[in-house]
Structure 1
Amino acid sequence: MAEFSHVNERGEASMVDVSSKDATVREARAEGYVRMESDTLQAIIDGNHHKGDVFGVARIAGIQAAKQTSLLIPLCHPLMLSKVAVDFDIDQAGSRIRVHALCKLTGQTGVEMEALTAVSVATLTLFDMCKAVDPGMVIEGIRVLEKKGGKTGHWEA
């Protein structure tokens, strides 16, 4: 098993020094789900939700969150993201929405945390916008699907 990278020789939390790493193209994809009542999902699909464009607001929230990851996660490096995309897939049979994020850059460290943060905040925004009519929604399954680039290369769930 690999050692934890965010702990120094004294066992203290430490930001990883990436200065000697080569800058490479790095990409990460993540996903998460919001399960809800079928009526709530249908109102979103039909564009009849009383708060307006639920997907538009959640998309912008996810993109903004990816850009702010280093302010939220203490040991993350601030990154110059070149691409952030947040998309939604409707699963009517499962009465849920899949949130998918892609983050990309050319740099010295990966973008998994940015993709996870984008998904997390987008799902939270969906919950926030719908909680008045459906407080029993469940956010679930947030995970990294794939990462590319860097020393470890390509990894896929």
Structure 2
Amino acid sequence: MSKLTHFNSQGRAKMVDISEKNDTIRTAFAKTSIFVSEDIYHEITGGTNKKGDVLSVAQVSGIMAAKQTSNLIPMCHSIALTSVNITFRWKIVEDQYELCIEGEVKTKGSTGVEMEALTAVSVTALTVYDMCKAVDKNMVIGPTMLMKKTGGKSGTYERD
């Protein structure tokens, strides 16, 4: 059991002790997509969704989600985030309307922010779904992935 960091000597879950780890500047970049219908695309880009500005609301929800990650994921530490940035870009190929959502989260601390970045983009996509589901429930979210992380003992990771 000693190699499993999130289990105690009784084999039960625990939050790992990060008190001896060095504070470093840590960043994480994550992305996801939500595939929408042409009608939803036009509502979002035209600002005609009945619930309001879809991307502004989704962006704020993603920022809020990053700040709440430790309340959602049991073994995550509470982290003082120094920056959260959510960006959007459309990718349209034939009749596929893909909203690409990217999130960057930063901190200066003793543990990484990968989960915060992944949570931020996931909740951003879920908010787009929630605001547009009255138009079409056939939206598809994903894939969701960590693209890059920097800082900490393990250094830089970058997806191929």
TM-score (norm 1): 0.95
Q: Secondary structure at the match of 1:95?
A: strand
Q: Deviations over 1:46-68 (max 9, x none)?
A: 21222221000000000000000
State whether structure 2 residue 42 is matched by structure 1 residue 49: no
- Is the aligned partner of 1:60 residue 2:60? yes
* Offset, 1:96: 1.2
- Given that residues 38 and 92 in structure 1 are in contact (C-alpha distance below 8 angstroms), is that contact kept between their aligned partners in structure 2? no
Instruction: Tell me which residue corresponds to 2:148.
Output: 146
Q: How does 1:10-49 map to 2 (within 5 A)?
A: 10-49=10-49
Give the superposition deviation at 1:36: 1.1
> SS state of the match for residue 50, structure 1?
coil
Alignment of 1:100-119 (within 5 A): 100-119=102-121
TM-score by length of 2: 0.93
* Equivalent pairs, count: 155
Deviation (angstroms), 1:140: 1.1
In the alignment, which residue of structure 2 is the partner of 1:155? 157
| TM superposition outliers: structure 1 runs of 4+ over 4 Å | none
Cα distance change on mapping 1:23 and 1:136 into 2, 3 Å: same
Query: Where in structure 2 are there 5+ consecutive unaligned residues?
Result: none
- Inter-partner Cα distance in structure 2 for 1:132 and 1:49: 10
CA contact (8 A) 2:85 2:105 kept: yes
- CA RMSD for the aligned pairs? 1.0
Does the CA contact (< 8 Å) of 2:39 and 2:135 recur in 1? Answer: no
Question: For 1:113 and 1:4, how far apart are their aligned partners in 2?
Answer: 19
- What are the ranges of 5 or more consecutive residues in structure 1 without an aligned counterpart? none
Q: Tell me, in whole angstroms, the C-alpha distance in 2 between the residues paired with 1:4 and 1:53.
A: 45
Measured after TM superposition, the shift of residue 6 of structure 1 is 1.6
For 2:147, the aligned partner's letter is L
| TM-aligned CA deviation for residue 8 of structure 1 | 2.5
Q: Which residue of 2 aligns with 1:133?
A: 135
In structure 2, the residue matched to 1:5 is: 5
Report whether the alignment pairs 1:70 with 2:94: no
1:145 positional shift: 0.6
Residue type of the partner of 2:149?
K
Q: Which amino acid aligns with 2:77?
A: H
The percent identity for this pair of structures is 46
Question: How much does 1:125 deviate?
Answer: 0.1
Which shifted more, 34-43 or 5-14? Answer: 5-14
